[in-house]
Chain A
Amino acid sequence: MNLSIGLVVESFIDFLLINFGPLFALIAQIVGGFMGGVESLILSLPPIVLIIVFALVAYLLADKKVALFTIIGFLLIFSMGLWIVTMQTFVMVLVSASIALFLGIPIGIIMSGNKFLDDFLTPALDFMQTMPPFVYLIPAVMFFGIGNVPGVMATVVFSMPPAIRLTKLGLKQVPDELEEVGTSFGSTPLQMLVKIKLPLALPSIMAGINQSIMLSLSMVVIASMIGANGLGEAVLTGIQRMQIGIGFEAGLAVVILAIVLDRITSGIGQSKA
């Protein structure tokens, strides 16, 4: 006998589609509109201005070396003619990581204080993280069609777990004695969170942010399989036409973007720790 779990999942998704169709359409419209806005803003700036802005951010949040690498790396991307697709990828990372963090960090905070929710969500997170990333693309297409929006949605789901996990972990690692300090001086639960726990959990939360962003980048590239714009498209073209040159250049651009994003976001964690 065949156990058809797949069938159950399909009918569940059908159920959601039939009953919540308009909701998904609304979400798609909001996310799509937002992304279009950010993208046209970024692409309206001359590349050289943007490169300087990136370098400045790198200098402020990390150090001189990262700033220098940013300038050289981005100039290289520009000269390979991949500037626009790289920025499309960047915007998608920016939007999906923002959504993932915006949802993930509060979920982590709630989970750290609620054992029931923790027991319930932890296996779900394990599941989400071990599922092969391609699998997320299918429901994303069913809910949101093809293009950038389903790409962003799949990326949000895929990149949220580390933000949740590391936020929760950081909060749980706050030593008992420091919690006692808060309680003994008469803290409210909110004061305890804001004045004691979050500052102490910050390095861990920053590590979560960094991981979420890196996962977003890898997923955004994969999402080109369902029609998302950006560097993934170029890679895909390379594969389909068997043009190793295009594929390699696009891959190099992904690596440069990854290194810049990683160094900048891990720099924040260190300077505050």
Chain B
Amino acid sequence: MKKLELKNLYKVFGDDADKGVRLLKEGYSKREVLEKTGLTVGVNDVSFDIKEKEIFVIMGLSGSGKSTLLRCLNRLVEPTAGEVKIDGKDLTNLDKESLRQIRREKFGMVFQNFGLLPNRTILENAEFGLEIQNIPESERERRSKKALNQVGLEGWEDQYPDQLSGGMQQRVGLARALAVEPEVLLMDEPFSALDPLIKKDMQDQLLELYEELDKTIVFITHDLDEALKLGDRIAIMKDGEVVQLGTPEEILTNAQNDYVKEFVKDVNRSRILVADDIMVKPLALLYSNDGPRTAMHKMKENEISSIFVVGEKRKLKGIVRVEDALEAVNNGQNNLEGLIKEIPVARPEKSIDKLFSNIAGSDIPLPVVDDNNKLLGIIVKSTVLANLAEGGM
């Protein structure tokens, strides 16, 4: 299901922006347009869809147009040409009032520098979006307290932002966005102002919330590790254009040009990689009470030939292969009994050269689990190989 659709989207900054778009259409580059006209190109002919309930990551160097693109989605930046659709409805020609309504109902935004109002308490900050919608005070308080609980900030309601650490402030920013119960979360480098350990915590928490809440998330980062960890799909931008779009796996193993290669090369070359660095999100998961038909459906949908099964709290049960699921369907079996096969697992801190022996002769991904056997991610063979090759081993 498409949630957002971008079609031939352009944003040119400057007085005669249309002229810039004309030149871009004639094939001039961002640099040439700047030299010829003095106009700055923010977004250059971008078209793609963002699916319902995926985490879509936008990556690229500074100035590549990530923020501009994200802001075109809710028209914080007015696109110069092209279409942005949400649920099939074109946003680009809405009048002010309808646009406000869409912003209130569909979007929640999280900002790089948190964007908290220093004169308001944590609770009042979390209530902001609801206040704008003129929601009565009691409901406002209930919903924003719930959101603050979701991000683990119960008990901090009456403090002021400057009394909180950076990580906690960004949790407030997240809670403010969650409180309006938006369908789409827009996040512009939300964790880049945080130090590495807190950043990792926040990523984990975001993934947990994502599992619970079923939202579409558009996430900007310039950190490849973060992109790989969070993204269902990643778009890489350069000079306002999307130069490659694909799953983390595709980006890692099949970089389509030097710019992307340069990005991928930087995946922590400087230190010894461990499982945690290169694991990716599984495309799909099966739950222990699903049946073989669901298994077949999910595998077909994602074009995979085996699928991991998890129980409560994401505890790993094993794997189901497509052959076995097919046989069970044909035999009319309606549970997974006997289909779930045990497989070797890895801990997140295992280094990748050791992983190699685990995965070399196998045709299925290697699951990464924590001490409680909770599934954290999976490692695909090609990633290990690619990284080993990069590392010159």
Q: Taking beta carbons and an 8 Å cutoff, which residues of A are in contact with B?
A: 177-178, 180-188, 191, 195-196, 199-200, 202
Q: Is the CB of A180 within 8 A of B129?
A: no
Distance in angstroms from B108 CB to nearest chain A CB is 8
Cβ-defined partner of B111 (8 Å) among A180, A187, A191: A180
Chain B residues whose CB sits within 8 angstroms of the CB of A186 once the complex forms:
100-104, 129, 132-133
Distance in angstroms from A89 CB to nearest chain B CB is 35
Task: Pick the interface stretch among B113-121, B143-151, B315-323.
Answer: B113-121
Q: Is the CB of B100 within 8 A of A188?
A: yes
Distance in angstroms from A181 CB to nearest chain B CB is 4
Q: Is the CB of A184 within 8 A of B76?
A: yes
Instruction: State whether the Cβ of B74 lies closer than 8 Å to any Cβ in chain A.
Output: yes
Chain B residues whose CB sits within 8 angstroms of the CB of A202 once the complex forms:
119
Q: Is the CB of A185 within 8 A of B76?
A: no
Closest A residue to B105 using CB positions: A186
A-B contact count (CB 8 A): 56
Q: Is the CB of A199 within 8 A of B115?
A: no
Q: Is the CB of B103 within 8 A of A184?
A: yes
Distance in angstroms from A197 CB to nearest chain B CB is 11
Interface residues of B in 96-110 (CB under 8 A from A): 100-104, 107-109
Q: Taking beta carbons and an 8 Å cutoff, which residues of B are in contact with A?
A: 71, 74, 76, 100-104, 107-109, 111-113, 115, 117-120, 128-129, 131-133, 180, 186
Chain B residues whose CB sits within 8 angstroms of the CB of A195 once the complex forms:
128, 131-132
Q: Give the complex CA separation of A188 and B132 in angstroms.
A: 8
Q: Give the complex CA separation of A180 and B118 in angstroms.
A: 15
Chain B residues whose CB sits within 8 angstroms of the CB of A185 once the complex forms:
103-104, 108-109, 128-129, 132, 180
Q: Is the CB of A177 within 8 A of B109?
A: no
Q: Is the CB of B117 within 8 A of A199?
A: yes
Cβ-defined partner of B74 (8 Å) among A182, A184, A187, A191: A184
Q: Give the complex CA separation of A202 and B117 in angstroms.
A: 13
Chain A residues whose CB sits within 8 angstroms of the CB of B131 once the complex forms:
195
Decide if the interface of chain A is mainly helix, strand, loop or mixed.
Answer: helix
Chain B residues whose CB sits within 8 angstroms of the CB of A200 once the complex forms:
117-119
Q: Is the CB of A196 within 8 A of B111?
A: no
Chain A residues whose CB sits within 8 angstroms of the CB of B120 once the complex forms:
199
Given A178-B117, A186-B102, A202-B119, 9 other A-B contacts at CB below 8 A? A180-B76, A180-B115, A184-B76, A184-B103, A184-B107, A185-B128, A186-B132, A188-B100, A196-B117
Q: Is the CB of A181 within 8 A of B128?
A: yes
Q: Is the CB of A187 within 8 A of B119?
A: no
Cβ-defined partner of B113 (8 Å) among A177, A187, A199: A177
Q: Give the complex CA separation of A195 and B120 in angstroms.
A: 10
Closest B residue to A192 using CB positions: B132
29 A-B contact pairs sorted by A residue (CB < 8 Å): A177-B115, A178-B115, A178-B117, A180-B71, A180-B76, A180-B109, A181-B111, A181-B115, A181-B128, A183-B103, A184-B103, A184-B107, A184-B109, A185-B109, A185-B128, A185-B129, A185-B132, A186-B101, A186-B102, A186-B103, A186-B104, A186-B129, A187-B100, A188-B100, A191-B132, A195-B132, A199-B117, A200-B117, A200-B118
Closest B residue to A272 using CB positions: B119
Closest A residue to B115 using CB positions: A181
Q: Give the complex CA separation of A199 and B131 in angstroms.
A: 15
Q: Give the complex CA separation of A191 and B117 in angstroms.
A: 14
Distance in angstroms from A195 CB to nearest chain B CB is 7
Q: Give the complex CA separation of A188 and B100 in angstroms.
A: 8
Chain B residues whose CB sits within 8 angstroms of the CB of A177 once the complex forms:
111-113, 115
Distance in angstroms from A74 CB to nearest chain B CB is 34
Q: Give the complex CA separation of A186 and B76 in angstroms.
A: 10
Q: Give the complex CA separation of A191 and B131 in angstroms.
A: 10
Chain A residues whose CB sits within 8 angstroms of the CB of B76 once the complex forms:
180, 183-184
Q: Give the complex CA separation of A97 and B186 in angstroms.
A: 46
Closest A residue to B106 using CB positions: A186
Distance in angstroms from B269 CB to nearest chain A CB is 34
Closest A residue to B182 using CB positions: A185
Distance in angstroms from A182 CB to nearest chain B CB is 8
Chain B residues whose CB sits within 8 angstroms of the CB of A184 once the complex forms:
74, 76, 103, 107, 109, 186
